Each structure stands twice: as C-alpha cells, then as structure tokens.
Amino acid sequence: MVGKTPRQQRYDERRRAILDAARLRADTDGWASVTTRHLAEAIGYTQPVLYGHFPGGKGEIMLVIALEGFAELAERCRKALCRTDAPGARIAAVATAYLDFGSAHPAVYEAMFQQVIDVKFASDDTPADLRAGFDVLADTIEDESRGVETEVFWAALHGISLLERAGRMRPEHREIRITELIDRYARG
C-alpha cells in the first residue's frame, strides 16, 4: 500500500481540524452557533478553503460528524455486548454504553438523530455504520428478524437518552429503567 503524499496528508489534517472545530463548537454552544465563517476562523483558513474540503458546507460537515458518531456508537455497543453472555447483562451493558454515548457527546448525538442530514434509514441505501448500529441492538435482544422489536428497543434507548439529557428523567433512576428493558427483552 502506498503512503499518502504530503499534500494529501495536509488535506486530511485540515479536514479533520474542520470536523473537530465543528464538533467542539456544537458541544459548547449548539449547532446553531456552527457557521462556516466561525469554522474557517477556528482553523486559520478562509471560507473557500473550508468549502474546498466540504462543498456542502455545514450540512455536509454535520453529515460526516453524524456518520462518525454512528460508527463510534456501534463500536461502543458492540464492545459492551461482547463482555458477557448473560442476556440481562448484555442488555444492561449495551443500554449503558448507548446512554453514556448520548450524554457524553450531545452535539454528535443531535447530529445523528435530530438535525436534518441526508441519510436514509431502514432502506437499501442505509450506510453500513447505521446498519451496524442497528444490528448490534438486534443482537443484544436476540431479534433475528431485525424488525420491529429492535426498533422499539432502539426507540426506548433514544427516548431515555433525550429525556435524561433534557432533565426530564431522574438520573438516579437509570438503573431502574434499564431493568425494565431487561425485563422486556431478556430471553431465556
């Protein structure tokens, strides 16, 4: 495999810097505060340079961050799933990994699920990282059909994540909520 040229390496570094600056700004002040002007200033380049990396501007940046978030979430959940064979423990581990990701990365989670991004869910065009995230949830509850049961499990985790972040659910009751999921989904 041939290594990257210095030019390609600089391009990749600038691209990563743009994504990191957008993620930091969104985590700090929300997505509304992320502008191409701010990002260009944050990385020390002009807006045309930013558009050279992301022709779709802020929307494309949010899409890339969301896709990276789906990959990271799937990886965290897969690692949690592999820690145990007991169905209840598997559900608890994956639910905790999912909820911890949502609370630790609110802007990424928002880009993934609340911002408008050009990604199709539950279709032939669904990106592999989204499918991997859905598959790990299906594997967690042993839903071989990968259907509605997994969707409801995912919806429960998503709802809990949003409600916890909004302060609408007491944090000290998370374990009780996870126990309810175990009672509903643990097989055997």
- pLDDT by residue (tens digit) across 68-108? 999 999 999 999 999 988 989 999 999 999 999 999 999 99
Taken as a whole, the chain contains a residue count of 188
- Which domains, and CATH codes, for the chain? 1-55 (1.10.10.60), 62-185 (1.10.357.10)
pLDDT at residue 130 is higher than 90? no
Q: Is 150 exposed, middle or buried (0-12, 13-18, 19+ CB in 10 A)?
A: buried
> What helix, strand, coil percent values describe the chain, rounded to 5?
75, 0, 25
Which range (13-22, 96-105, 113-122) has the least confidence? Answer: 113-122
Mean of all residue pLDDT scores within the chain: 92
Which residues, at least 6 apart from 49, have a Cβ–Cβ distance to it below 8 Å?
14, 40
Q: Which two tokens stand for residue 159?
A: 């709802």
Give the pLDDT mean for 102-126: 88
Residue with tokens 């701010």: 38
pLDDT bin (cut points 50, 70, 90) of residue 48 is: very high
Stretch 158-179: mean pLDDT: 95
- For 139-165, the pLDDT digits (tens) are 999 999 999 999 999 999 999 999 999
Distance in angstroms (rounded) separating the CA atoms of residues 10 and 8: 5
